[in-house]
């Protein structure tokens, strides 16, 4: 009787190990994306010598969906898209320059709020390289192509961009994964107008950008098919712009 119980216990142990080591190659995810866009211009002088200063804070909430093909030591493919809505809080300050001597200057601050639509679509291709030293560590270099669109009141901008990046992920304690993502982008075929041109594109037809993120993922259930991921990130659409975007994504995924 004891031998039978011992054999049954060993069977359950090996079964659980097999379930834990089972690899899922397809992962779908959907969730929310909350981010804050901050822009602060330096002081500039208008034709009358007045100093102008612009501060724009945008608060956004959106829906993000994605798919990844994650076969270890094999071809990688990923698709991700987001659509978000928000509002820009614009503060424009006019002050007197010390160079003004003949004209009258009235310092003032103007506040304005504008709705803002934000969308992005990206396709990635690369390779999933699994470490031989750390079996639960995967590095994924990739290249990609994306499209970005923004629209505010009477303002809009859209462009295409090339991307090159690196995604890493390490599993800990069988149910917890932690990684680091880095991506560089190069925008081209830029079409812009007014506010978005001032804040983001700087009226340039080509510019570099960068994004860094830390995925923190919890696997759920006995098999780990379901997961919950929190991903804080920093985004610079244009490295030459004073605009900086800080955000966090809360995603729910299913793998098979």
What pLDDT, on the 0 to 100 scale, is given for residue 213? 98
**Tens digit of pLDDT for each residue in 74-84?**
999 999 999 99
Mean pLDDT computed over 55-66:
96
What pLDDT, on the 0 to 100 scale, is given for residue 114? 87
pLDDT band at 217 (very low <50, low <70, confident <90, very high): very high
Secondary structure (3-state) at 134: coil
- How far, in Å, CA of 189 to CA of 206, rounded? 7
What pLDDT, on the 0 to 100 scale, is given for residue 98? 56
What pLDDT, on the 0 to 100 scale, is given for residue 27? 95
**Tens digit of pLDDT for each residue in 1-60?**
555 544 444 433 433 433 345 678 999 999 999 999 999 886 655 555 567 788 999 999
* Neighbouring C-alpha atoms within 13 Å toward the C-beta of 176: 2
Mean pLDDT computed over 131-135:
80
Mean pLDDT, rounded, of the chain: 85
| Neighbouring residues of 60: CB distance < 8 A, sequence distance ≥ 6 | 33, 34, 35, 36, 37, 84, 85, 86, 116, 118, 247
What pLDDT, on the 0 to 100 scale, is given for residue 106? 66
Mean pLDDT computed over 189-212:
88
- Which candidate, 151, 87, 149, places its Cα nearest to that of 122? 149
What pLDDT, on the 0 to 100 scale, is given for residue 99? 53
More confident call, 10 vs 256: 256
What are the distances in angstroms from CA 107 to CA 52, 93, 182? 10, 8, 44
What pLDDT, on the 0 to 100 scale, is given for residue 167? 96
**Tens digit of pLDDT for each residue in 90-127?**
888 877 655 555 556 666 788 888 899 999 999 999 99
**Tens digit of pLDDT for each residue in 229-254?**
999 999 999 999 999 999 999 999 99
What pLDDT, on the 0 to 100 scale, is given for residue 24? 86
More confident call, 180 vs 18: 180
pLDDT band at 224 (very low <50, low <70, confident <90, very high): confident
Structural domains for the chain: 26-35+60-87+116-255 (2.40.128.100)
More confident call, 66 vs 40: 66
3-state helix, strand, coil in the chain (%, to 5): 10, 65, 25
What pLDDT, on the 0 to 100 scale, is given for residue 23? 75
What pLDDT, on the 0 to 100 scale, is given for residue 2? 55
Q: Are strands 226-236 and 244-255 parallel, antiparallel or unpaired?
A: antiparallel
Secondary structure (3-state) at 3: helix
């Amino acid at each position: 009787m004891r031998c039978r119980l011992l054999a049954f216990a060993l069977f359950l142990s090996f079964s659980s190990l097999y379930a834990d080591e089972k690899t899922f190659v397809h992962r779908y995810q959907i969730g929310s994306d909350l981010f804050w866009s901050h822009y602060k211009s330096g002081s500039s002088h208008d034709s009358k010598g007045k100093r102008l200063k612009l501060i724009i804070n945008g608060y956004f909430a959106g829906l993000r969906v994605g798919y990844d093909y994650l076969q270890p030591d094999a071809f990688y493919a990923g698709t991700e898209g987001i659509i978000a809505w928000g509002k820009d809080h614009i503060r424009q300050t006019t002050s007197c320059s010390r160079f003004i001597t003949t004209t009258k200057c009235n310092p003032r601050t103007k506040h304005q709020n504008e709705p803002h639509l934000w969308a992005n679509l990206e396709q990635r291709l690369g390779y999933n390289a699994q470490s031989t030293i750390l079996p639960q560590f995967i590095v994924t270099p990739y290249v990609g192509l994306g499209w970005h669109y923004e629209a505010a009141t009477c303002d809009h901008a859209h462009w295409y961009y090339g991307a090159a990046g690196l995604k890493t992920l390490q599993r800990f304690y069988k149910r917890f994964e932690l990684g680091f993502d880095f991506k560089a982008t190069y925008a081209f075929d830029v079409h812009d107008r007014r506010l978005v041109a001032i804040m983001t594109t700087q009226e340039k037809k080509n510019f570099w950008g960068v994004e860094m993120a830390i995925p923190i993922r919890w696997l759920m259930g006995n098999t780990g098919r379901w997961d919950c991921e929190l991903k804080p990130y920093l985004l610079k659409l244009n490295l030459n712009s004073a605009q900086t975007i800080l955000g966090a994504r809360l995603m729910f995924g299913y793998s098979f």
